Amino acid sequence: MKPGVDVLRFFRYTMDRIMDLRVDSLLAGAQRAEGIVVIIDVFGAGAMAPLALAQGAPHLVLAATNDDAEAMKRRRAGELTIGDRGDRSHATPDLGPSASSVTRADLTGRVAVLATRTLTMGVNAARHAERIYAAGLLNVRATARIIHSLDPAIVTLVPMGVDGRLRTDEDEICAMVLKHVLGGKPPDEEAAVRFIRSCVTSQKRQGHAIEA
C-alpha cells in the first residue's frame, strides 16, 4: 500500500460506506432531518455567522428578527446585534445586514445576537437532530472537518431556501458541494460560485451575498 494516497482512498471509501448522507430541502426537510443536521443558508446566516466568528466573536446567539435580537441584547444575551437583510421589524441592528459591516468590525470577546429568520426556523424545526450546524459556501470545508471528526452514522443537509418554502439555486448547490466534500470528492468550488452568480434567483439577492 502506498503511504498517504492509498490510506486516503481507503478512508474515503470507508466514509462513503458508513456515512448516510442525505439532502432534504426546506422547512419540511428540517423537520425530517436526523443525525448531524446542517442548515444551509448561503446568503444569510451561512455567510454572516462565519464572518462574525472570524472577527473574534466567541459565539453567536440566534434571534428570529431584528426586534427579537434587540430585545435579547437588552436582556444581556449578547453585546451587539447583527441584522437580517430581509427583516422588516423596527429595530436598527448594530451591524449588518451587509457582510462588509461585519468584516470591518472588531468582535473580539463580544457575543453577537444574529437575527436570522431562516436559520432560527431551521434550528427550531430540526427536533430529531443530534447536533446542528449552520453552513454556507464560506465554511463548507470547516463544516466537513467537524462532521468527519464526529464519525456520524447519518448526516442530513438542509438547504433552507427562501423562508423554508422556496428552493434557491445557491442553497441547493452549496448542499451538493458539501456532500461532495464529505464524500471525499472535492468539487470545483470556484465554478459553483460562478454558477450561483449567474442564477436568476441569486441575482436578485446577491448584493448581500457574494459581497462576503
Per-residue pLDDT tens over the stretch 157-190: 999 999 999 999 999 999 999 999 999 887 777 8
Pairing assessment for the beta strands 154-159 and 129-135 based on DSSP bridges: unpaired
> Residue 207 has what pLDDT?
47
Q: How many Å separate Cα 186 from the centre of its chain?
A: 18
**Least confident piece of the model among 101-105, 125-129, 183-187:** 183-187
pLDDT tens string 45-93: 999 999 999 999 999 999 999 999 999 999 999 999 999 987 888 899 9
> Residue 187 has what pLDDT?
77
Higher-pLDDT residue of 30 and 203 is: 30
Q: For residues 112 and 122, is the Cβ–Cβ distance under 8 A?
A: no
pTM: 0.84
User: 36: which 3 cell numbers?
Assistant: 448531524
Q: Give the C-alpha separation, 123 to 134, whole Å.
A: 9
> Residue 209 has what pLDDT?
40
The count of other CB atoms within 10 Å of the CB of residue 12 is 14
Q: How many Å separate Cα 38 from the centre of its chain?
A: 7
Q: For residues 162 and 10, is the Cβ–Cβ distance under 8 A?
A: no
**Residue 75: strand, helix, or coil:** coil
**Residue 159: strand, helix, or coil:** strand
Share of the chain above pLDDT 90, in %: 70
> Residue 10 has what pLDDT?
47
